[in-house]
Structure 1
Amino acid sequence: MYFKKIALFVLIASFFNCKQKTTEAEKTSMTNESAKIENAVNITPIEHATFVMTYKDAVIYVDPVGGAEAFKGQPKPNLILVTDIHGDHLNVETLKALDAPVVAPQAAVDQMPESANINSMVLNNGGTTNMNIGGSTITLEAIPMYNLREEALKFHPKGRGNGYVVTLGEDRIYISGDTEDIPEMRNLKDIDMAFVCMNLPYTMTVDSAASAVLDFKPKKVYPYHYRGTGGLSDVSKFKTSVNNGNSKINVVQLDWYPNN
């Protein structure tokens, strides 16, 4: 009887010891998960082509327009990316108000008067640069963006504007800018997040965008810049087309047109 009591005591003690270890493991798992979320690349759409990317203390504004008031409540940028010269991508008054370093193609920098005193750096198609922003080292690659259809060549000639691949932490993020389904897009590799435009007559159709995405296979794709002369493109059709072709691609639909 004595030995049975001893065995029972050992069994109960072992149970509580294992339970304590499990609880500690659960706590560690939760802490690690929180760290992953905290250190993720976070996206805030502003409108149309304009959005905010944050990673740790790095804050990047993409094609900011609408004045400083469009970014109320957003952290101050420590880098701005501009893709092209058109008014939905480049607004000098907004750049002046935000007062942060700007990376842009030569054609866009040429639109910034010296009197605006904008701290700008030229990066043209094919260019790559490393920079430290907010304590994080990032890599920028300037990717071509241009039209293919004969009737649309006047909108975005090859060599003028930039798409970008931005490496933040372990994520490679593609920003299409104004483009069609060009070979340079279809041949992209190892893209974790992709922002892909689709609006006629200026860029490409929903079908063309979906076809390109199925070629370069990003882990996540965000349809953006989808307001054309005929209204908003059918991003639900885009999602269906992509997922019918590859169910592993996560199509993320955000609210890019809060005033519509």
Structure 2
Amino acid sequence: MTVRHDDVTVEWFGYATVRLETADGFVAYIDPGRYGVLTGEWEPDSPDAAHPDPVDYHAADGDAVFVTHDHHYDSDGIERVAGEDATVVVYEGVDADAIGRDVTPPSELPYEVVRIGEEDHLTVGDCDAWSIPAYNEENGPHTGDDGEPFHPKGFGIGYLLSLNGSTVFWPGDTDALSGHRALDVDVFLPPIGGSFTMDRREAAALAADLDPALVVPIHYGTFAALETDSAAFAEDVENRGITVALDED
């Protein structure tokens, strides 16, 4: 399923993998890969999990690829989506040695790789990109049994992307933060799985504050800890007068 807002199309492959394309043919990917969503190997913990079907995907058509943090860094996923002349934008905090999976370090990828800070701006082709802090608040609802945030401040980021005059916001793995509410957002891609990020209710409240033209929820249903009621989320947001598209197969 492909969702459209003005001159930008949005396609969710599962987990946090999103493809964006402008009417002019500029293609950007966000957090590609992991859990078999691009290799065709993803299998839901629940047969009723709301999620796109996994695909063996190797389009290699991306002009830009954006990575938010260690949990979403997948070098195989990047190579499946990045075009030969792609620019890969990776948060400066991503550390291949600390990931604990078999990944190629960003510096060894066969593309132009740009590292971005926690609150930076850069331009890649037809895309302006701003990095936005992403984290779980201490003593908040998304912490481990030891009380420590799953995503401490400085561990990752989100992205606000400007494409053909439309702004697309992927907040990353984060709580709903006060700074988010000041953003000018046309297309909102909230994580709604809860556990490690804002849940569907918190995401719906943030959507109401942002008042985007379109909401496409992602980062849910991939495994048990991310299962949620996406239909209830959509109803909640639509009752606030905001359009929602569930990109599910």
The residue matched to 2:234 in structure 1 has which SS? helix
> Which residue number in structure 2 is paired with residue 92 of structure 1?
75
Amino acid at match of 2:232: K
Distance 1:185 1:113, change over 3 A: closer
> Which residue number in structure 1 is paired with residue 180 of structure 2?
185
Say if 1:96 and 1:118, in contact at 8 Å, map to a contact too: no
The residue matched to 2:93 in structure 1 has which SS? helix
Distance 1:39 1:205, change over 3 A: closer
Say if 2:166 and 2:186, in contact at 8 Å, map to a contact too: yes
Say if 2:60 and 2:79, in contact at 8 Å, map to a contact too: no
> Which residue number in structure 2 is paired with residue 58 of structure 1?
26
* Structure 2: distance between partners of 1:38 and 1:214: 18
Distance 1:162 1:38, change over 3 A: closer
* Structure 2: distance between partners of 1:92 and 1:62: 13
Give the fraction of aligned pairs with identical amino acids, expressed as a percent. 24
> Which residue number in structure 2 is paired with residue 147 of structure 1?
136
Distance 1:150 1:221, change over 3 A: closer
Say if 2:128 and 2:162, in contact at 8 Å, map to a contact too: yes
The residue matched to 2:94 in structure 1 has which SS? helix
* Structure 1: distance between partners of 2:114 and 2:232: 38
Amino acid at match of 1:104: V
* Structure 2: distance between partners of 1:142 and 1:62: 12
Say if 2:160 and 2:167, in contact at 8 Å, map to a contact too: yes
1:163 corresponds to 2:158: yes
> Which residue number in structure 2 is paired with residue 121 of structure 1?
114
Choose between structure 1 and 2 for higher RCO, CA contacts under 8 A separated by at least 6 residues.
Answer: 2
TM-score normalised by L of structure 1: 0.72
Say if 1:166 and 1:174, in contact at 8 Å, map to a contact too: yes
Give matches, 1:42-81, under 5 Å: 42-55=9-22, 56-65=24-33, 66=36, 70=55, 72=57, 74=59, 76-81=61-66
> Which residue number in structure 1 is paired with residue 244 of structure 2?
251
Quote the offset at 1:45 in angstroms: 1.6
Say if 1:109 and 1:120, in contact at 8 Å, map to a contact too: no
Quote the offset at 1:114 in angstroms: 4.2
* Structure 1: distance between partners of 2:152 and 2:226: 24
The residue matched to 1:108 in structure 2 has which SS? coil
Q: Which has the higher helix share?
A: 1
Give matches, 1:152-231, under 5 Å: 152=143, 153-189=148-184, 191-227=185-221, 229-230=224-225
Say if 1:226 and 1:232, in contact at 8 Å, map to a contact too: yes
Distance 1:115 1:229, change over 3 A: same
* Structure 2: distance between partners of 1:150 and 1:253: 25
Paired residues, what number? 211
Say if 1:194 and 1:221, in contact at 8 Å, map to a contact too: yes
1:107 corresponds to 2:93: yes
TM-score normalised by L of structure 2: 0.75
Name structure 2 gaps, 5 residues minimum.
Answer: 41-54, 98-104
Quote the offset at 1:215 in angstroms: 1.0
Quote the offset at 1:72 in angstroms: 3.3
Larger-gyration structure (1/2) = 1
